[in-house]
Structure 1
Amino acid sequence: MKTMTRIAVAAALACGVAGQASAYEAGDFIVRLGAATVSPNEDSDNINLPTEPPISLPGISIDNDTQLGITGTWMFADKWGVELLAATPFEHDFKVKGLGIDGGSVTHLPPTLSLQWYPRGGSNGWQPYLGVGLNYTFIYDEEVSGILEGTLGAVLGASRADLKLDDSIGPAAQAGVDIPLGDNFGLNIGVWYIDIGTEATIVTDVGKVKFDVDIDPWVYNVGIAWRF
């Protein structure tokens, strides 16, 4: 509630100074810094364990995470820019559906390069934008929880369990707005939809289990924009 109040106050202030803010123009650099939340919209294949008879679990669910997000945009024309999205590493806990237990965690970095269109570029005031681009998600530091490792040990007779998720390349789309609070800075609100698909492999000393996971997160950002 406090965050929403601050945003509302900032937007109200922006209405009073929007006319004073200079237009975005070719050659400008725009840096946006804020709190970025990755909210997975996951769709996971069943996890088929090699038992007799076979046991099938209904995939995994993945928690949200919020980190520091930073983007840099170069305006190569009044209405067009190129943006690179970066962030501090996101760490997500996941649960195994059906068992209702913590499965472990994964860490990833989702750099995204986008072409942006600014319909009000060259005009003073608010600067909405749309973008499309390409995302590369680097997934690392996968960990299996002790609870899941123990469960696999009891069911499969495994003495260890490791997890590996493949990196992902996919399209991304975005929308956002910079609300001026001064001549060269303002409030930024943005959202991305990123197509992230990966193959997960659980490796044990008695065999491997593979299943596909579509993470497909919405990414929300609220922060500050600076124009140079």
Structure 2
Amino acid sequence: MLRQAAIIALLGLSTASFAGGWQLKLGGSVLAPTQDTNTPLGVVKADHEYNFTPSVEYFFGDTPFSAELLLAAPFNQDVQLNGDNVAKVKHLPPTLTVKYNFKNSTRFTPYIGVGGTALIVWDESGVADKVKNDYGFAGQVGFNYQPADAKNWGVFFDVRYADLSPEVRLNVANNYKFDLDIDPIVYTIGYSYKF
């Protein structure tokens, strides 16, 4: 459902491409889970992961509003049981946020955003027999900085929160199932280029 809504939103944005402006952002991110999951088997948690995360942003004319779609190569995340790596999950984290950009007279443009995110499972290995796709809320805060000699480019930093708890089935203890509380924070820094 979220995937279909994102596709429809992007198609709508592309038809209005001459009314506003586009920005390409190339960044590096760390995905840091904020929760551990207590199970009868022990404590299960997902490890930190680093990745290249480009995004595409569309600005709605002269308004302070924009929409940003976060893309990434698949994350390869270790799952630990009582501190030992027992599985690896490869997943895609597409995230669509609607943002408010605080325009001002400085070269810093702070922004906040809200939207939706997904955990699309690409592959799983180890004792993780099955990890289900999951969908949730996403929030975002950050800023873009444009140096004095820059026409179209800048640097940015932002922090995103994602509400994600995918169902995991382990091929131990009669295929034990539980919701893995990840709820990651994603820290991203990189370059931006506005067309």
Structure-2 residue corresponding to 1:196 = 164
TM-score scaled by structure 1? 0.72
Tell me the number of residue pairs that the alignment of Structure 1 and Structure 2 aligns. 174
Deviation digits for residues 123-146 of structure 1 (CA, Å, limit 9, x no counterpart): 5622111000000110231111xx
Instruction: Please tell me the root mean square deviation across aligned C-alpha atoms, in Å.
Output: 1.7
The structure 1 residue matched to 2:115, chosen from 130, 133, 138, is: 133
Mapped contact 1:62–1:93 kept (Cα < 8 A): yes
Task: Quote the Cα distance in structure 1 between the aligned partners of 2:177 and 2:194.
Answer: 46
Deviation digits for residues 96-143 of structure 1 (CA, Å, limit 9, x no counterpart): 11xx4221211111101110001217x562211100000011023111
Larger radius of gyration: 1
Structure-2 residue corresponding to 1:4 = none
Deviation digits for residues 1-53 of structure 1 (CA, Å, limit 9, x no counterpart): xxxxxxxxxxxxxxxxxxxxxxxxx611111101111111123140xxxxxxx
> Any stretches of 5+ residues in structure 2 without a counterpart?
1-18
The offset of 1:191, in angstroms, is 0.8
The structure 2 residue matched to 1:28, chosen from 21, 25, 35, is: 21
The DSSP-based 3-state class of the residue aligned with 1:224 is: strand
Mapped contact 2:74–2:122 kept (Cα < 8 A): no
Task: Give the structure with the larger helix fraction.
Answer: 1
Mapped contact 1:139–1:165 kept (Cα < 8 A): yes
Percent of matched pairs sharing the same residue: 31
Deviation digits for residues 185-226 of structure 1 (CA, Å, limit 9, x no counterpart): 01111110001111111235x832111111100001110010
TM-score scaled by structure 2? 0.83
The structure 2 residue matched to 1:85, chosen from 52, 70, 92, is: 70
> Any stretches of 5+ residues in structure 1 without a counterpart?
1-25, 47-55, 145-160
